[in-house]
Amino acid sequence: MAAEPAAPTISRRGLLAFVGAGSAAILITGAGQSVGGPLRRLAVLAPRGGDQGGGAEFPINKTARNAGVTPAMTGADYRLVLAAGGRELQLTRDDLLALSQRTETLPIACVEGWTATRGWTGVPLAALAAMAGVPPGELLVESLQPRGVLNQATLSRDQVADERSLLALTVEGEPLSLDHGYPARIIVPALPGVHCTKWVAALRFAA
pTM of the model: 0.74
User: Is the omega angle on the peptide bond into residue 183 within 30 degrees of 0, that is, cis?
Assistant: yes
φ/ψ (deg, to 5) at 6: -70, 145
Task: Give CATH for domain 54-205.
Answer: 3.90.420.10
Residue 97's pLDDT is 98
SS3 label, residue 125: helix
Task: Give the whole-angstrom CA distance, residue 57 versus residue 50.
Answer: 9
Q: What is the mean pLDDT of each run of 10 residues along the chain (207 residues)?
A: 50 47 40 39 42 64 92 97 96 98 92 85 98 97 91 96 97 94 96 91 95
Question: What residue segments make up the domains of the chain, in order of their start?
Answer: 12-42, 54-205
Q: HSE on the CB side for 66, CA within 13 Å?
A: 12
Residue 108's pLDDT is 86
Whether residue 120 contacts residue 106, with contact meaning beta carbons closer than 8 Å, is answered with yes
Residue 44's pLDDT is 38
Helices (H) and strands (E) in the chain, counts: 5, 10
